[in-house]
Chains A and B, each alone.
Chain A
Amino acid sequence: MNKLTLSKETKITLKLIKRDKLAMLSLLIITFFIIVSIFAPFIVPYPSQGEGLPVPEKRFLPPSFENPFGTDYLGRDVLSRVIFGARISLFVGIFVVCVAIIIGVPLGLIAGYFGGKVDDVLMRITDVFLSFPSLLFAIALVATLGPGLFNAMISLSITWWPWYARLARAQAVTIKEQPYILASQVIGVKGLTIVFRHLLPNALTPIIVQGTMDMSSAILAEAGLSFIGLGAQAPSPEWGLMVSTGRIYLLNYWWFPVFPGLAIFLVALAFNLFGDSLRDVLDPKSRKAGGQM
């Protein structure tokens, strides 16, 4: 592949994405959240409250000009906390998906390319991981590692990588019959070099699509773990934790659980829609098939 074709492909991709209004909207939401979370300490009204400083005399103030999203049970500005929470959630999403890809994809490609016993061993291991319901498996892992945001991320990554291993293996199996791979083999390129120099770049498209869509699942799963008390711990402004704490106040002080819940919803939806569009754009086959997978 040379530079020219790549940029041409990219151009087509961008054009297609631009034409897709839903994709643009979701991209806009994602970009918004990313920018907001990067500059969180500079744009939130009350940075110290966002990080957890209580203001006991301002508990449960309804949304107002001063506190657009109201205040929570310790008097902290909910808007500031939701924005700080975006940092955590996006980071968790990216971390979990990246770790899962880093572990899963090489294993899948190796299994697919070399086949035989290597394939058998690696795939049976992934099968073992896949045979547990993933959230339950994550809960069990966190329970042994101890509750905490980092442990929650680790356990989610561990439950997530087998999906990528499978995906990458399927890709490797098809691609390894391509003439350019055969050509590399003929001129004596080593197996692992072929896997990482030639297989990997060509197998990336479906993995990126899957990764984008999994961002939303990872964010949701982590929020779920925090909700049941196994993920982020107070006073972290993690969204799931905020919803969990605010749950019992829903009837009287709705703003406390509703805004973080809304944030989870928006981000998860945006990643999901964007992943969908990306798949349609990058994969002509599924575009024709009307978006089924």
Chain B
Amino acid sequence: MLNSNAFRKAISKIAIIGIAVIVIIAGLGAYLYYTQYSIPNLKSSLVYAYVSDFPDLDPSIAFEDEQVILANMYEALVFYNASNTNNPLTPWLATSWSHSPDGLEWTFNLRKGVLFHDGSELKASSVKSAIERTIRMGLGAAYIWDAVKEIQAVDDYTVKFVLDYPAPLAQIASSQYGAWITGPSTPSNDTQATEWFNQGKDSGTGPYMIEKYEAGFQVVLAKFDKYWKGWSGNHVEKVLVKSVRDPTARLQAIKAGEADITLDLPVDYLEELKTNENVRIISVPSYRNLLGMINTKQAYTDNVLIRQAISYAFPYDAVVKNVMQEYATQSRGPIPVGMLGHFEDLTQYTYNLEKAKQLLSQAGYPNGGFTLTLTYTSGDELEKQVAELYKAELEKLGITLEIKEMTTKAKYALARGDPTQAQHILLFYWWPTYITPYDFLYSLFHTEKKVIFNFAYYYNSTYDDLIDTASQLEGTDLNKALQLYRQAQEQVVEDATSLFILDMDTIMIANKKVHNFNPNSAYTEVVFFYDVWVEA
């Protein structure tokens, strides 16, 4: 018979050995798991520290910065690949398209097997009702569809657009505003639908859906399992888009690794970031330019000689080199560099005070002696620096520049009042809704019954005819259209309707662990999260 004491000892010995073995195995296992057998190359989430919030998530209305979110939840019929300048239009929800010779009928063949987030399939009827909703509501960028007379669902996978007048519909369908295809889960009442969207709901076909929406602060996107491109390969599954207004905070976030991607840091911060091993700076042409619209109806600047004189007095080189540190180029006419309709040999004003003085003498003001006002948006560092540099130059001509810092609202309120009482020069940026020269040339200088964005108050019927004709030819005879656009641009440059200051770059800053990130100039500040992947 065993001594019970010895028995107990034996048991405890076994227990001790057993525990030791388990600990060793577990330790070894963990060690192997975390070294040899783990797959350490993928991180499933990404943080994008964005500048502003997203005031309106209704894809039919959104007309500010919402494309940053919407382009990841929705898709359009056509994708505009800005890096492929020869053939930028590529299939997206439509696999192919064609138009009648007169450009009045456009047929799009839809991709099969595309699912909306509610599980229903993409059909021609959804495309029809989505675009009809945008047109019916008539808000935001709805005007891009102005040419459309009728939309027909020919069969489940064919949509036909009948137009009133010719228009480049494939380009229009690739717009970053007002062209997103919404699905059948959209509430049928239009205003209720807007509310529904702004609660953080969506009805797209894109790779991501909103998981959590905190208006004004952040949006959490999660992957849509049944996305038509599938999820094999490297992708991020969750994305946090945070609104971080303060550039210093964005700089800190990217430096500390709290954000994987951010943008719009003052160029003066970039020098420091260049030496940072963890981040890289990606700069692409943004199709966005900085303009100083010159009032053609106000005293002094109603004289074209004075407008030309002050165009020659702008310190273009100093701004490009010293303020922008070459992250921008001097504009050549209203269409930004890299975009359809930009011409490298268009007339350009240079900094030339002699020439400016000569023009002022011709105008009868050899020694200046008058005051011009300039308005800019408060908080915009670049506009502020540009304004102050310009003031110093005009002073050399004897012209006093009164700089007024205003909120966007106040600036536009003044500019949209009586032109003869408005500012002389207004600084602002323009970027296209969809990629066409017409967007710039129409919005900025086409005759307007009521002032919207033509802050030059430039009314010239020859110019209007030129660009209207060009726009109608764009879909059918692009070369002819470009020729007319060129003529129109020469006209506004000669008339000095604006200071054509800078063509901006989009400067995005990404952690080096973010791969396959290629900003697309046609979709402003959008990160196509599906394409990028993040190293762990």
Q: Which residue of A lies closest to B319 (CB)?
A: A56
B373 at the binding interface (Cβ < 8 Å): no
When A73-B268, A252-B269 are in contact, do A234 and B384 touch as well, CB less than 8 Å? Answer: yes
Contact B318 A235 (CB under 8 A): no
Q: A56-B318, A234-B403, A248-B266 are in contact. List 6 more A-B contacts (CB 8 A).
A: A52-B388, A73-B385, A74-B385, A229-B405, A234-B387, A253-B268
Restricting to B298-327, which residues have a CB under 8 Å from any CB of A? 315, 318-319, 321-323
Q: Which A residues fall within an 8 A CB radius of B? A: 52-54, 56-57, 59-60, 73-75, 229, 233-235, 245, 248-253
CA distance A271 to B165 in the complex (A): 75
Contacts of B248 in A (CB 8 A): 248, 250-251
Interface string of B358-399 (1 = CB under 8 A from A): 000000000000000000001001001101110110000000
CA distance A234 to B381 in the complex (A): 12
Q: Which residue of A lies closest to B395 (CB)?
A: A53
Contacts of B384 in A (CB 8 A): 234, 245
Contacts of B378 in A (CB 8 A): 229
B251 at the binding interface (Cβ < 8 Å): yes
B345 at the binding interface (Cβ < 8 Å): no
Restricting to B417-431, which residues have a CB under 8 Å from any CB of A? none
Distance of A113 from chain B, by nearest CB (Å): 47
Interface string of B244-275 (1 = CB under 8 A from A): 00111001000000000000001011001000
CA distance A124 to B389 in the complex (A): 50
Contact A249 B251 (CB under 8 A): no
Distance of A67 from chain B, by nearest CB (Å): 16
CA distance A45 to B261 in the complex (A): 43
When A56-B318, A57-B322 are in contact, do A235 and B272 touch as well, CB less than 8 Å? Answer: no
Could you list 10 A-B pairs, sorted by A, with CB under 8 Å? A53-B392, A59-B268, A74-B389, A233-B405, A234-B387, A234-B388, A234-B403, A234-B405, A248-B248, A252-B272
Question: Which residue in A59, A229, A251 is a CB contact (below 8 Å) of B322?
Answer: A59
When A53-B392, A74-B389, A253-B268 are in contact, do A248 and B247 touch as well, CB less than 8 Å? Answer: yes
Question: Which residue in B247, B318, B387 is a CB contact (below 8 Å) of A57?
Answer: B318
Interface of A: prevailing SS: loop
Contact B388 A235 (CB under 8 A): yes
Restricting to B510-532, which residues have a CB under 8 Å from any CB of A? none
Q: Which residue of A lies closest to B393 (CB)?
A: A54
Distance of B149 from chain A, by nearest CB (Å): 50
Q: Which residue of B lies closest to A245 (CB)?
A: B384
When A73-B268, A248-B248, A253-B268 are in contact, do A56 and B389 touch as well, CB less than 8 Å? Answer: yes
Contacts of A253 in B (CB 8 A): 268
CA distance A73 to B251 in the complex (A): 18
Contact A248 B381 (CB under 8 A): yes
Contacts of B272 in A (CB 8 A): 252
Q: Which residue of B lies closest to A146 (CB)?
A: B404
Distance of A211 from chain B, by nearest CB (Å): 33
CA distance A233 to B381 in the complex (A): 15
Q: Which residue of B lies closest to A234 (CB)?
A: B388
Contact A56 B323 (CB under 8 A): yes
Contact B403 A249 (CB under 8 A): no
Distance of A262 from chain B, by nearest CB (Å): 21
Contacts of A248 in B (CB 8 A): 246-248, 266, 381
CA distance A57 to B443 in the complex (A): 35
When A248-B247, A251-B248, A251-B251 are in contact, do A54 and B269 touch as well, CB less than 8 Å? Answer: no
Distance of A149 from chain B, by nearest CB (Å): 14
Distance of B256 from chain A, by nearest CB (Å): 13
CA distance A75 to B389 in the complex (A): 11
Contact A60 B392 (CB under 8 A): no
Contact B391 A56 (CB under 8 A): no
Contacts of A251 in B (CB 8 A): 248, 251
CA distance A245 to B385 in the complex (A): 10
CA distance A53 to B389 in the complex (A): 8
Contacts of A245 in B (CB 8 A): 384
Contact B268 A252 (CB under 8 A): yes
Q: Which residue of A lies closest to B251 (CB)?
A: A251
Contact A56 B268 (CB under 8 A): no
Contacts of B389 in A (CB 8 A): 54, 56, 74
Interface string of B227-246 (1 = CB under 8 A from A): 00000000000000000001
Question: Which residue in A52, A54, A235, A249 is a CB contact (below 8 Å) of B268?
Answer: A249
Contacts of B403 in A (CB 8 A): 233-234
Distance of A236 from chain B, by nearest CB (Å): 11
Contacts of B321 in A (CB 8 A): 56-57
Contacts of A57 in B (CB 8 A): 318, 321-322
Contacts of B251 in A (CB 8 A): 251
Contacts of A53 in B (CB 8 A): 392
CA distance A122 to B323 in the complex (A): 55
Question: Which residue in B247, B391, B405 is a CB contact (below 8 Å) of A235?
Answer: B391
Contacts of B381 in A (CB 8 A): 73, 248
Question: Which residue in A54, A229, A250, A252 is a CB contact (below 8 Å) of B388?
Answer: A54
Contacts of B268 in A (CB 8 A): 59-60, 73, 249, 252-253
Contact B266 A56 (CB under 8 A): no
Q: Which residue of B lies closest to A253 (CB)?
A: B268
CA distance A245 to B378 in the complex (A): 11
CA distance A31 to B266 in the complex (A): 40
Contacts of B247 in A (CB 8 A): 248
Contacts of A233 in B (CB 8 A): 403, 405
Contact B388 A74 (CB under 8 A): yes
CA distance A54 to B389 in the complex (A): 6
CA distance A195 to B350 in the complex (A): 68
Interface string of B135-149 (1 = CB under 8 A from A): 000000000000000
